[in-house]
Every structure is written in C-alpha cells, then in structure tokens.
Amino acid sequence: MLEKLNALTEGHGALGKGRGLITGVIALSLGILCFLGVMAFHFPEYLTTPELRKSYNVDVIRTIMFVAMTIAGGLSLVNVLLNRARWLSGFAFLMVVLTALLGGHKVPVVDFADNTPYIGLDWFILDLLGSSLIFMFIEKLFALRKNQPIFRAEWQTDFHHFIVNHMVVGFVLLATNLAVHKLFGWAAKDGIQAWVRDLPFVAAVLLIVLVADLVQYWTHRAYHEVPLLWRLHAVHHSAKSMDWLAGSRQHIVELLITRTLVLAPIFILGFSKEVIDTYIVIVGFQAVFNHANVSVRLGLLGYVIVTPNFHHWHHSQDQEALDRNYAAHFAFIDYLFGTAVKSTRLWPERYGVLGDYVPNGFLKQLKFPFTWKG
C-alpha cells in the first residue's frame, strides 16, 4: 500500500477514469485534511493562527469537517466494496476512522494560553480546501490548456512550497510586522492616517490596492533587474506550467522582503482593519487566479486590471515577454511605465526561466539562490 501511495505522489499525469483513482484521491485528500483538522482542535494554541481563529466560526468549521469526513468515508467505502483502487481507498478510510477515534468534529475547544509559538495549520487546511475547490472548478470550466492534468509535471514542488509558506505564516507575520515597525515607524503621521481613515470605504480600498501595487511593481521590477535579487525570484519563474498552484512557488526570503515592503505604506497610511481585510481577500484571489490555467480575457478592461492572460505573459520564456508585465493588480501601471508586453499573439508558448537552469524540488530551490554560480 505504501509503495503504491509513494508511486502515486511521486508521479504526474491524468489519473484516468473508471478505476477509482479520482474518487480515491478526493477521499484521501479530504481524509488527511480531516485528520489535520482534528489535531488542530486538540492543540489550537500551537496549530492555529491567532489572527485567523478570531475571524471564523468554530461551529461552521465543525460542520465542514463533518461533511468532509462523510464524503471521504463514503467514497472510500464504495471504492473498497467495488474493488476499485482498494489500496488507495483503504488508506483514505483509515484516515477517516483515525479522525473519528480522535474525536472528529466534536472535539471540545477550551480556553488556552495565547502568545504561544504556533504553525498555521488551520490557514493551510482552509486555504488548500477553498483554493482547490474554487480554482480547480474554474480551471475545468474555462481551461486554457485543456489537456493539462491537475497533477501536471512538478506539481509536487509547488505543493511543498504551498505547505511551507502556509505553515510559517506566524513567523512571516511576526518578522514583517517587526521589520515594518522598526524601519518605517518614524514615517507614520497622525494627520495623514486620519485623512485616510476618513475616506469612503470603496475609495480607501482602491487606494490601498493602488499603493500596494505601486510598491509591488517597483519591488518586482528590482527582482528582475538586480542580479542578486533575481537569484531569489528565479525560483518563482522556474514553474513550467501555469495553474492555481504555480503561484505558491516562491522563495521564503523573497516572501519576507516583498511582504515587508508592501506592508510598509499600508502601515504608514494607517488604513482601517476592514480595508486591510478587503485588500487581503483581493490580493489572495488575484495571486492564485492570475496564475491559473484559465482562458479569461476582459477586453478593454484588461488594460486596467491584471488578468491571467496579462500575468501568464510575465512567466513566459518568449523574447517579447522577458522582464515585462510586473503589476499584480492594475495593468495600467505597466502601460504607464512602458513595461507592458506587446505581442500579436494572445497567449505565450512556453513558461519558465530562459535556459531552465533552476533545479526542481523544494529543498534544491531553497538552496539555489545561495549556491548558483551563474
């Protein structure tokens, strides 16, 4: 069973229909997430994110877990009875049983100490579940490359980046907040912050997105034009396939630098919590959607808002696309500064770093910026 599971997780390509692999993978994925969820219920002070657990409703999370356990258990049991991928479904059913034995969705959550060291297991579970359900559905409906399977080549590397960058959310928040307060605290002025807080909500949201994107644009451009910074950013560009998971391929050092610099003006201007929360939703959606394997174009609006079409060109190896399309939210910024792609073709041909010199694999990519001699 373990050998077959290892072969499945190390491989790539279409799963094929009628063999129970698709339903088995769904059952196993939900079973593992349920097991991780019950562990978070048992140890919330160490496995959940303080900022996040204040926002969600625990009863809703319990309902989601119960539904996920029911689906995983039902799919795996049917496959076992029908003798379809029993090795896969048997393991999935085992995860559901183990989750149930540990208390399942009924584990009581009592008062616990704050200010404990933690990893963002809850953020990982919710984001993986939400992102996969939403964006896999969108990719199937509006697929750009219809023959690209969900488990395409190198998906494991991107998934490892996804896991790590979500698990260390606490460290990232602590490090970026500390850096911003130490480096930019002197620039915060009550008068400017009062003016920003008095803005209408929609105007404040547009302003925070614009300010953040202007900083992101020049930071992103520096990653391409400064050789030392390109060592970090090349990891992100090494993805040879575009889908909802590809955007997760990002070196942790780049993540810290970029988030610190983007957070700085947000802190200095003193946007309200509601505006910042809205911005987080916007940036979270666009970061995933603009890498997705979807054929969505917005006509003239595409000159204003960054779309998958716009950002796919940024990841292209095509000569006309190199060092272009830096903006994350507003495409007009690239048109304003003369860095927008100009091509007669609708979509690029190939993705990745020109020369394909970045190694595949999370640990190799983690070391790459410090060992590359190019």
Same domain, 71 and 173: no
Same domain, 175 and 29: no
Same domain, 362 and 263: yes
Closest CA to 309 of 128, 131, 137, 142: 142
pTM, entire model: 0.93
pLDDT at 373: 79
What total number of domains does the chain contain?
2
What sign results for the dihedral spanned by CA atoms 273, 46, 176, 131? negative
Q: Which of 79, 97, 118 is the last residue of a domain?
A: 118
- Enter the tokens of residue 142: 């509006």
pLDDT at 150: 93
Amino acid letter for position 18: G
Report if residue 273 sits inside a domain: yes
252: Cβ–Cβ under 8 A, 6 or more apart, which residues? Answer: 164, 165, 168, 366
232: Cβ–Cβ under 8 A, 6 or more apart, which residues? Answer: 223, 251, 253, 254, 257, 369
Report if residue 136 sits inside a domain: no
20: Cβ–Cβ under 8 A, 6 or more apart, which residues? Answer: 79, 82, 84, 85, 88, 89
DSSP-based three-state secondary structure for 291: coil
Q: Which of 59, 86, 118 is the last residue of a domain?
A: 118
Report if residue 130 sits inside a domain: no
- Enter the tokens of residue 185: 């605290």
pLDDT at 113: 81
Pair 103, 42: CB distance under 8 Å: yes
Same domain, 7 and 78: yes
Same domain, 97 and 225: no
Report if residue 294 sits inside a domain: yes
Same domain, 303 and 206: yes
> Which helix (H) or strand (E) element contains residue 292?
none
Domain span holding position 13: 2-118
Same domain, 49 and 178: no
- Distance (Å, whole) CA 215 – CA 230: 17
Q: Which residue has the tokens 């969505």?
A: 296
Report if residue 124 sits inside a domain: no
pLDDT at 110: 81
Report if residue 160 sits inside a domain: no
Same domain, 43 and 183: no
Report if residue 53 sits inside a domain: yes
Closest CA to 4 of 95, 88, 79: 88
Report if residue 137 sits inside a domain: no
Residue numbers in the chain where pLDDT is lower than 50: none
Same domain, 181 and 47: no
